[in-house]
Structure 1
Amino acid sequence: MAKPILITGASSGIGYELAKVCAAHHHDLVLVARREERLLELRAALETAHGVQVLTYRGDLTDASTRQQFFDWTQAHSIIPYGLINNAGFGDLTPFADSSWEKQNAMLQLNIVALTHLTRLCLPGMIAQGQGRILNLASTAAFLPGAYMAVYYASKAYVLSFTEAIATELEGTGVTATTLCPGPTQSEFADRAEIKDVKLFEGKNLPTSAEVAAYGYEAMEKGQRTAVHGTTNKVLSLATRLLPRKNLADITKGMQKPA
């Protein structure tokens, strides 16, 4: 395969668009998600449009055995990834005390554990070949305490810290690690998290998933450590360093309070 890139959560949203961007740049792809029908449709479209090879794998990455089986499957196909894009993740808008533990635990497993586990599985091979790109999807949520989405915001803070740390460890190896931090974006994420009607999203002219994906791919290829999409989001991410954490939590509370 030609500079293969593994993408999780590729069946919709930013992950779907990242697959299209990578294929347009002549990368062969390995796509993994739960919705096999969408993966197969995407594979057919990308192979036809760009002449790349696309492999798909249906799996629930919240399960550790599935992650290991997926990695073993890539090894059986002699795939050493040039790139790993950990895009899979979800959020949930609800007061933590009222939340479903099953849903919060699944979020932790996908947003944090799966991302970390797949990075650990793929990284040795990337280092051994002397080149590679890791792109971990965080959010501008990584810079804030997120009232009513406490676990989601905390999970993205983990992604940012983890990726910054391994980026430093990887200096001189030919492998880089980038955190992509989009703000509110037009995607299925808002529907699944049930946040499309809160002030954070209401009346906003949001960037598209395709715009975020194009920006993220460019940042990944440059080896940029932290990539915050959009001028307003860049300013806000810097401003969070100046305000007390209590004030930041109050701001997210006002922007995300459930109806």
Structure 2
Amino acid sequence: MATALITGASRGLGEEFAWQLATARHDVVLVARDRDRLSELADTIRGAAGVRAEVLVADLATEDGQEAVAERLASEDEPVSLLVNNAGYGLGRGILSTTWEEEKAALDVLVTAPLRLSQVAAKSMTVRGHGAILNVSSVAAHLGNSTYAAHKRWVRDFTEALAGQLHGTGVSATAVLPGLVRTEFHDGPDLEYMKSEYPDAAWISSEAVVEAALAGVRRKAVVVTPSLRYAAGVGLLRMLPKSATRRSGSLRRG
């Protein structure tokens, strides 16, 4: 039975990835900081899906956390065939209002961790001749209005470069670019305003995002944008001058 490792698995898209992969008969390794939520999810998945659900508590903003996940990915005794780099969050404030510690932690989770874990996974998978890496980017990658957008643009560009380097190895790399998704991502005080600022039509479900992402992995697509309306929106964003995307959705704070 194939094994998938999902970072940020305790809630939101990560939890949905865990459920859809488990119901597709994948064993899962669930990575996040919240041991209680991970353990509860793992117990429920084991009972409902009948697969193995492993809990790995790690903070990807730390070197120790990244090392723990890297070691698990490098294991040949229990190989991982799908890595889902999903962990992430938005600060919701501009760089004039954040601290260096906040910006560094976000950079480590959104950029350093996907880079490190993708490299470890790619090396292990290419030896076996099969596997897949799925990196969660965002349609914000097409904007220029925040460090979050810059990080997500890096994830998209990195995934495209990785896919090229993996060509012919039997291992694929896919970036999924969700738009606004109904999850706990926007529950924090600095992002909660978005729930009322954007109409219902702008939001898509976590189920739809994960289904599109996993379908993209199966067909070895490099970039996947869930929903036709967001795919069309991305096309429009590409046509706009960079000055417009820098102003688009400007942060209210900072």
Instruction: Tell me the TM-score range normalised by the shorter chain.
Output: over 0.9
Q: Identity over aligned residues, as a percent? A: 30
Offset from partner CA, 1:108-149 (integer Å, 9 cap, x none): 000000110111111111001111111000000011112xxx
2:247 alignment partner in structure 1 = 250
Alpha-carbon distance, 1:42 to partner? 1.0
2:118 alignment partner in structure 1 = 119
Give the TM-score normalised by structure 2: 0.94
1:161 alignment partner in structure 2 = 157
Give the TM-score normalised by structure 1: 0.92
For the aligned residue pairs, the C-alpha RMSD in angstroms reads 1.8
1:238 alignment partner in structure 2 = 235
Alpha-carbon distance, 1:65 to partner? 2.5
Closer, same or farther in 2 for the Cα pair 1:161/1:48, shift >3 Å? same
Q: Unpaired runs of 5+ in structure 2?
A: none
Deviates further, 244-253 or 79-88:
244-253
Equivalent residues, number: 253
**3-state SS of the aligned residue for 1:85?**
strand
Choose the corresponding residue for 1:184, options 180, 186, 189.
180
2:9 alignment partner in structure 1 = 10
Alpha-carbon distance, 1:103 to partner? 1.2
CA distance in 2, matches of 1:76, 1:168: 25
1:134 equivalent to 2:133? Answer yes
CA distance in 2, matches of 1:75, 1:241: 38
2:106 alignment partner in structure 1 = 107
**3-state SS of the aligned residue for 1:223?**
coil
Deviates further, 234-243 or 21-30:
234-243
Alpha-carbon distance, 1:250 to partner? 1.8
**3-state SS of the aligned residue for 2:56?**
strand
Q: Unpaired runs of 5+ in structure 1?
A: none
Alpha-carbon distance, 1:95 to partner? 2.3
| Residue correspondence of structure 1 range 197-236 to structure 2 within 5 A | 197-198=193-194, 201-205=197-201, 206-236=203-233
| Residue correspondence of structure 1 range 64-103 to structure 2 within 5 A | 64-73=63-72, 75=74, 78-103=77-102
Alpha-carbon distance, 1:93 to partner? 1.3
| Residue correspondence of structure 1 range 19-98 to structure 2 within 5 A | 19-73=18-72, 75=74, 78-98=77-97
Closer, same or farther in 2 for the Cα pair 1:210/1:113, shift >3 Å? same
